[in-house]
C-alpha cells in the first residue's frame, strides 16, 4: 500500500507516520494497512527529522519491524491485536525496556541493561503498540530542560531557542515532530505536562496509583517522594490519542507495584461545572497565558459547561515546599554525591538551588511535609466536590529560553517560581492535563492546565476534547524548516 490510499477505504493525502493513533489502530485492526507499513513510515520520519532535534537517542529498526510483524501476525490469526494495534510509540529512557539501558540520562547507567520490562512497557506491548525508540531526558530527570553528558541535548522542534521541556523533553519533542503518534513520559514535578506545553502538544499526568510502576534494574525501591508523586502517562497531538494511550498504559494490574489501584477508567456522571483561576496564589501569569486560559474557559462554556472564575484555589504555593521536601529533600546528600559523580551541571544546579532548604529539614521537617501533604490533598478533594474540573495556567511564563536555569541564581529562581502549577499539583495525587490551545504568531506554544478529581482522568479528557474541538488543531512541527 502507498501512503495515499487505503485499500477498501478512503483515499488519503497524509503520510502514514502523520496519522492519529486512533486512526492507525482502526486501519491496522481492519487490515486496511499493515502494522509493518506503519512502522516503516514511522522509521522514515524518525530518520528524517530526529537528527535536528535529538529526541530519540536509541532505536533499532529491525526490532521495530519485528514488533510490527507480530501485530500483523496476531490479526492474521484472528486474535485481538489490542487497542493500540500498530501504533508507533516512544518510551522514555528512565523506565525499563528489556534489552535496553535504563540510562535516565546518566553516563553512570549507560550499561544498566534491563532484563525485564516495567509494567507500563508491558501494558503498551499487550495493547499492540510498536515501540519506536527511546527518548531523551535530563540527567536524573531533574530539570525542565533536556540535555545530558550521555545523550546530548534535545531541541524544541517548534523553536530551537526554546526549551523542549523536561524531563520528558525527548518524548514531547518527538511526538510534536511526528516521531510516533503517542509518547510515554513520566511526571514528578511537571515532567509530562511542561514538555507538552513547551512543545505545543497535549500531555496527561494520571492519578497516583493509576498506572503501575516498577524498575527492576534499579535494584532498590524509590524514596517516598518518588513513590507517592511520580507517575507515567502519555503525550500526543490529539486528546483522543491521549485517551487511547492512557487507557492502554493503565490496562493491566501488576503485583510489582503495591501503589496500583484497581479503579475504573470512567467514573460516574459529574456536573459540567468548572472553576478557572488565572493567578493561583497570586502568581504573575503572563498576559498571553491569561488570554489562552480565558479562551479555553469560553470554549468550555460553549460546550455547555458552567465555568466560574475564582480568585483562589486550594494550596499550590505551599504544596511546592512540600513537594521539594519529599522529592529533593529525601537523601539530599546522596543525590548531591550522585550528581557530582556524574558531573552534570544541570543536575548539580537543580540540587544546589535547594541546598539550604534541604539541609534544614531533618527528620522532623520531612515528617511535617509528609503530614501536610495529606491536608493539602484533602483541601483539593473538598474543593472538587463543587468543581469537578479546574482550569489554571500551566506555568507563569511562556516556554523558557533553553537552559535558562543555568544562567545564574536569579534565572534559576525565576524558573522555579514560574513552575508553581507544575510542582505543586503532584502533591495532591490528582490527574492533570496540559492542553495546547494554539501557537503565537512567532510559533511559541500557549495552553491551559485542567485538573480533575482522583481517578477522574475521564473528566480531564472530556474537558480537553471540548476545548480542542472548538480551537485550532495541534499542527505537526518540522524542525528542518528552521522554525
- Please name each of the domains of the chain with its CATH number: 19-475 (3.90.1300.10)
Say if CB 293 and CB 393 are below 8 A apart. yes
Query: What is the model's pLDDT at position 157?
Result: 98
Residue-by-residue DSSP string for 197-257: HHHTSEEEEPPTTSS----GGGSSPPPHHHHHH-EEEEEESSHHHHHHHHHHHTSS--TT-
Residue-level pLDDT, tens digit, the chain, 483 residues: 333 333 333 334 479 999 999 999 999 999 999 999 999 999 999 999 999 999 999 999 999 999 999 999 999 999 999 999 999 999 999 999 999 999 999 999 999 999 999 999 999 999 999 999 999 999 999 999 999 999 999 999 999 999 999 999 999 999 999 999 999 999 999 999 999 999 999 999 999 999 999 999 999 999 999 999 999 999 999 999 999 999 999 989 999 999 999 999 999 999 999 999 999 999 999 999 999 999 999 999 999 999 999 999 999 999 999 999 999 999 999 999 999 999 999 999 999 999 999 999 999 999 999 999 999 999 999 999 999 999 999 999 999 999 999 999 999 999 999 999 999 999 999 999 999 999 999 999 999 999 999 999 999 999 999 999 999 999 999 998 753
pLDDT for the residue numbered 115: 98
Total-model pTM: 0.96
Q: Which helix (H) or strand (E) holds 47?
A: helix 35-53
Distance between CA atoms of residues 269 and 185, nearest Å: 29
What's the pLDDT score for residue 481? 74
Three-class SS state of 455: coil
What is the predicted pLDDT for the residue at 161? Answer: 98
- The catalytic site residues sit at 92, 167, 191
Instruction: Classify 15 in phi/psi space as left (phi over 0), alpha (psi -120 to 50) or beta.
Output: beta
Other C-beta atoms closer than 10 Å to the C-beta of 345 total: 15
Amino acid at each position: 500500500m502507498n501512503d495515499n490510499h487505503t485499500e477498501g477505504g478512503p483515499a488519503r493525502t497524509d503520510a502514514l507516520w502523520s496519522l492519529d493513533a486512533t486512526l492507525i489502530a482502526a486501519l491496522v485492526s481492519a487490515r486496511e494497512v499493515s502494522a509493518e507499513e506503519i512502522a516503516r513510515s514511522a522509521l522514515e520520519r524518525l530518520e528524517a527529522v530526529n537528527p535536528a532535534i535529538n529526541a530519540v537517542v536509541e532505536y533499532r529498526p529491525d526490532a521495530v519491524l519485528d514488533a510490527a510483524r507480530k501485530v500483523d501476525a496476531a490479526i492474521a490469526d484472528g486474535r485481538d491485536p489490542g487497542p493500540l494495534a500498530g501504533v508507533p510509540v516512544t518510551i522514555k529512557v528512565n523506565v525499563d525496556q528489556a534489552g535496553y539501558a535504563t540510562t535516565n540520562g546518566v553516563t553512570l547507567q549507560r550499561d544498566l541493561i534491563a532484563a525485564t520490562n516495567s509494567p507500563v512497557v508491558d501494558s503498551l506491548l499487550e495493547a499492540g503498540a510498536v515501540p519506536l525508540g527511546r527518548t531523551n531526558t535530563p540527567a536524573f530527570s531533574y530539570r525542565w530542560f533536556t540535555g545530558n553528558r550521555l545523550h546530548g541535548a534535545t531541541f524544541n522542534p517548534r523553536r530551537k531557542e526554546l526549551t523542549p521541556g523536561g524531563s520528558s523533553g525527548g518524548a514531547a519533542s518527538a511526538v510534536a515532530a511526528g516521531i510516533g503518534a503517542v509518547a510515554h513520559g513520566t511526571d514528578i514535578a511537571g515532567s509530562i505536562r511542561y514538555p507538552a506545553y513547551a512543545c505545543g502538544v497535549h500531555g496527561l499526568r494520571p492519578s497516583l496509583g493509576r498506572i503501575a510502576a516498577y524498575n527492576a534494574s534499579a535494584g532498590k525501591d524509590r524514596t517516598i517522594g518518588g513513590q507517592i508523586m511520580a507517575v507515567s502517562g502519555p503525550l500526543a497531538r490529539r486528546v483522543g490519542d491521549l485517551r487511547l494511550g492512557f487507557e492502554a498504559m493503565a490496562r493491566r494490574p501488576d503485583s510489582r507495584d503495591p501503589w496500583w489501584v484497581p479503579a475504573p477508567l470512567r467514573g460516574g456522571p459529574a456536573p459540567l461545572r468548572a472553576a478557572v483561576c488565572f493567578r493561583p496564589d497570586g502568581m504573575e501569569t503572563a498576559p498571553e497565558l491569561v488570554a489562552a486560559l480565558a479562551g479555553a474557559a469560553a470554549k468550555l462554556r460553549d460546550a455547555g459547561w458552567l465555568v466560574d472564575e475564582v480568585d483562589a484555589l486550594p494550596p499550590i504555593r505551599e504544596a511546592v515546599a512540600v513537594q521539594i521536601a519529599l522529592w529533593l529533600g529525601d537523601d539530599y546528600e546522596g543525590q548531591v554525591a550522585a550528581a557530582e559523580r556524574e558531573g552534570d551541571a544541570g543536575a548539580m544546579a537543580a540540587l544546589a538551588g535547594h541546598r539550604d532548604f534541604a539541609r534544614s529539614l531533618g527528620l522532623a521537617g520531612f515528617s511535617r511535609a509528609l503530614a501536610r501533604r495529606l491536608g493539602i490533598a484533602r483541601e483539593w478533594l473538598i474543593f472538587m466536590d463543587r468543581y469537578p474540573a479546574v482550569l489554571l495556567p500551566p506555568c507563569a511564563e511562556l516556554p523558557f529560553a533553553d537552559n535558562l536555569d543555568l544562567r545564574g541564581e536569579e534565572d534559576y529562581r525565576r524558573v522555579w517560581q514560574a513552575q508553581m502549577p507544575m510542582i505543586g499539583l503532584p502533591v495532591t495525587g490528582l490527574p492533570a492535563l496540559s492542553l495546547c490551545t494554539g501557537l503565537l504568531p512567532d510559533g511559541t506554544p500557549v495552553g491551559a492546565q485542567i485538573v480533575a478529581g482522583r481517578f477522574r482522568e475521564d473528566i480531564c479528557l472530556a474537558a480537553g476534547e471540548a476545548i480542542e474541538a472548538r480551537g485550532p488543531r495541534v499542527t505537526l512541527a518540522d524542525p528542518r524548516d528552521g522554525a
